[in-house]
Structure 1
Amino acid sequence: MFKIGYRTVKTAVGAAAALFLAQALDLQFYSSAGILVILCVQNTKRKSLKVSLHRLGACLLSIVFSFVVFETIGYHALAIGLLILLFIPTAVMLRMEEGIVTSSVIVMHIYSLKTVTWPIVWNEVCILIIGIGIALLVNLYMPSVERELKRYQQLVEEYFKLLLHEMAVYLRSRESDWDGKEMIEAHELLHQAKALAFQKLENQFTREDDYYYRYFTMRIRQFEILERVMPLVASLSWTYEQSEMVAKFIESVGAAVRPESTGLISLQYLHELREQFRVMPLPTTREEFETRAMLLQLLSEMEQYLIIKSEFKGKHTYIQSV
């Protein structure tokens, strides 16, 4: 389906404005201002600013190289080759790779004029200021993704509740018709959410409001534990009293999945459960011993799961502490 994104609209408006302004000022090679806008408008404010500064620095550097090389050995093809041979490694060393293409355009402008004078340099600088300045200006607008991030958060928590519920069901009955597809869906959803949260972060010039990025990073760490735990649960082939106790605990963890939960109550529950295991009679059969050992391993994994949440600072708590 034909669709025009907001970045395309911004690029079109910015390029047209840059061309109009450069042409109105009667600048030579005014079309380059529009090209700069196209190259500098990026997906995020931070990236756009970074790319723009690199292009500006590389272009100014290319003017210096052009003056030195052309005025030393003349305006011919060999000089172009030598200039590129010297300029590109220098730009890469200075981490200005994004500006190499733009700088090459300026080099060709100077080469076609066969001289380097202050008016020519000023003309190129004006083109840079107009193109980069308008690109940064149009990139100030970024649509809010707050609602989308909240939706992702709700979906992630629903998946976590479901996964924990299915674990509890299997611990109780050793039977389940669950096909596990939600594990794959949750994995994809988490990484999509983190990418969107990172995009939001990159559209801020301060990192104080990084709640969603930290939140989805935390959930990914927890999900990695659930991925380890699922095969462990599936390997349990016997049901004992302790299995029911652990199932009840995991159900309580699932019920407590929400953004504001600290996990501390569940951690206390886990410690009490361990103490109950400690005072219970020792296993009498090999199967019971193996099951008890796997259940204790399961509790250790769940403890790490809860510690990750307990260390997570919520939105308001974090803002007050910075």
Structure 2
Amino acid sequence: MVRIGYRTIKTAIGTPISISVAQLLGVSNFVSAGILTILCIQPSRKRSVLSAWHRFLACVTASLFSIIFFELIGYHPIVVGIMLLFFIPTTVLLKVTPGIATSSVIILNLYGAEGISRSFLFDQFLLIIVGIGTGLLVNLYMPSLDKQLKQKQIELERNFQLILREIALYIRNKNEDWDGKELTKSEELIQEAMNLVSLDKENHLLRTEHPYHDYFVMRSKQFECLQKMLPLVSRLPKTDAISVQVADFFDKLSDAVHPGNTAILYLDELRKLRNTFDQEELPETREAFITRANLFRLLHEIEDYLLLKEKFKQSDVSARIRVKKRPE
């Protein structure tokens, strides 16, 4: 089923409005107002305001160029081409190139008049105001993206939980049935979410920060940690007592994936694990040494994963509970 987007709906609403207003004002070439509106519909408020300014300035510049070239040289197709050779570089210099398509409508209207009078210039100025203004006003309404971002957050956390559980399963049983689709999906979700955040920031012209921006940046960095953990996990021994403890810890991390911040509890438990491993006898074989080295690298990645969450926001764990949970 084809989904009709907001830009399509706004274009369908704005175009007939601008044509009707231009027609009521008695503007010649009133249909062109609809073309200007169509060209001005943008995906965000910020882009809409910038687009309106670029197109307005480009249209005014196009009017000046048209007067100079058409009135001084003549109304001939070759003159249109010559004028564009000068006009387009000027828009690049003024940094209003998005307005080239819009201003071409005004250029062709002036060319078709075969004579530029003050009344016709005012007529075209009204056309610019109506066409661009309608597009700007229609574009001021932007739907909230909070619902979509919340859904991305829920899906991403669910994927993180599954990844951590699969890691625990692999450590215990060397289970190789997992296809890793949650990794690919998580990467896609993070990218999609960051795109939505950027778009939503552009819809709030006076807001510099976004409540979901830091969250998805944090999850993106945590995802990098998870990717680094996987090859290290694959090198842990199957029946080692230490590996079992690490698997249990991954299960606990899986249960703790949520928007809140309880990372301090798991950092304390991780320190306890480290102390336990430090008390183990030194490895005697090369294989045991490599395993121990991979284990310590894995613990380092887990610590980085938790520290990212700890720094993300204020802890949800009260000071009294922290004291209880800290190792003696």
TM-score (norm 1): 0.89
- Tell me the distance in 1 between the aligned counterparts of 2:239 and 2:86: 73
- Tell me the distance in 1 between the aligned counterparts of 2:150 and 2:213: 12
1:320 corresponds to: none
Give the CA deviation at 1:176. Answer: 4.4
The answer as to 2:225 corresponding to 1:225 is yes
Question: Any conservation in 2 of the 1:55–1:96 contact (CA below 8 Å)?
Answer: yes
**Stretch moving more, 115-124 or 15-24:** 115-124
Structure 1 runs of 4+ with >4 Å offset: none
Question: Any conservation in 2 of the 1:240–1:288 contact (CA below 8 Å)?
Answer: no
Question: Any conservation in 2 of the 1:36–1:128 contact (CA below 8 Å)?
Answer: yes
The answer as to 2:199 corresponding to 1:199 is yes
Give the CA deviation at 1:114. Answer: 3.0
Shift in CA distance, 268/12, structure 1 to aligned 2, threshold 3 Å:
same
Number of corresponding residues: 314
Give the CA deviation at 1:183. Answer: 1.6
1:170 corresponds to: 170
The answer as to 2:102 corresponding to 1:92 is no
1:318 corresponds to: none
- Tell me the distance in 1 between the aligned counterparts of 2:175 and 2:15: 62
Give the CA deviation at 1:205. Answer: 1.3
2:117 corresponds to: 117
Task: Read off the aligned partner of 1:202 and give its amino acid letter.
Answer: E
Give the CA deviation at 1:178. Answer: 2.1
Task: Read off the aligned partner of 1:94 and give its amino acid letter.
Answer: L
- Tell me the distance in 2 between the aligned counterparts of 1:80 and 1:175: 71
Shift in CA distance, 32/23, structure 1 to aligned 2, threshold 3 Å:
same
Shift in CA distance, 177/26, structure 1 to aligned 2, threshold 3 Å:
same
Question: Any conservation in 1 of the 2:236–2:294 contact (CA below 8 Å)?
Answer: yes
1:184 corresponds to: 184
Q: After superposition, what is the alpha-carbon deviation per residue over 1:168-220, rounded to whole angstroms, capped at 9, x for unaligned?
A: 22223333432222222222222223323333222211334511233223212
Question: Any conservation in 1 of the 2:201–2:208 contact (CA below 8 Å)?
Answer: no
1:134 corresponds to: 134
Task: Read off the aligned partner of 1:130 and give its amino acid letter.
Answer: V
Q: After superposition, what is the alpha-carbon deviation per residue over 1:210-232, rounded to whole angstroms, capped at 9, x for unaligned?
A: 11233223212211221222122
- Tell me the distance in 2 between the aligned counterparts of 1:273 and 1:4: 54
Question: Any conservation in 2 of the 1:270–1:303 contact (CA below 8 Å)?
Answer: yes
* Structure 2, unpaired ranges of 5+: 315-328
Question: Any conservation in 2 of the 1:263–1:306 contact (CA below 8 Å)?
Answer: yes
- Tell me the distance in 2 between the aligned counterparts of 1:256 and 1:114: 73
Shift in CA distance, 233/137, structure 1 to aligned 2, threshold 3 Å:
same
2:260 corresponds to: 260
Q: After superposition, what is the alpha-carbon deviation per residue over 1:220-257, rounded to whole angstroms, capped at 9, x for unaligned?
A: 22112212221221233454232223223322322221
- Residue 43 of structure 1 aligns to a residue in which SS? coil
Question: Any conservation in 2 of the 1:238–1:288 contact (CA below 8 Å)?
Answer: no
Give the CA deviation at 1:85. Answer: 0.6
Task: Read off the aligned partner of 1:304 and give its amino acid letter.
Answer: D
Shift in CA distance, 294/51, structure 1 to aligned 2, threshold 3 Å:
same
1:47 corresponds to: 47
Instruction: Indicate the RMSD between aligned Cα atoms, in angstroms.
Output: 2.1
* Structure 1, unpaired ranges of 5+: 315-322
The alignment-based identity, stated in percent, is 43
Question: Any conservation in 2 of the 1:66–1:107 contact (CA below 8 Å)?
Answer: yes
Task: Read off the aligned partner of 2:91 and give its amino acid letter.
Answer: A
- Tell me the distance in 1 between the aligned counterparts of 2:270 and 2:306: 10
Give the CA deviation at 1:262. Answer: 5.3
TM-score (norm 2): 0.87
- Residue 211 of structure 1 aligns to a residue in which SS? coil
1:63 corresponds to: 63
The answer as to 2:140 corresponding to 1:144 is no
The answer as to 2:78 corresponding to 1:78 is yes
Task: Read off the aligned partner of 1:53 and give its amino acid letter.
Answer: W
- Tell me the distance in 2 between the aligned counterparts of 1:104 and 1:262: 59
Question: Any conservation in 2 of the 1:262–1:312 contact (CA below 8 Å)?
Answer: no
The answer as to 2:285 corresponding to 1:285 is yes
Task: Read off the aligned partner of 1:73 and give its amino acid letter.
Answer: I
2:243 corresponds to: 243
Task: Read off the aligned partner of 1:55 and give its amino acid letter.
Answer: R
Task: Read off the aligned partner of 2:174 and give its amino acid letter.
Answer: R
- Tell me the distance in 2 between the aligned counterparts of 1:268 and 1:159: 25
1:158 corresponds to: 158
1:319 corresponds to: none
- Residue 109 of structure 1 aligns to a residue in which SS? helix
Question: Any conservation in 2 of the 1:152–1:189 contact (CA below 8 Å)?
Answer: yes
Shift in CA distance, 2/178, structure 1 to aligned 2, threshold 3 Å:
closer
- Tell me the distance in 1 between the aligned counterparts of 2:229 and 2:93: 46
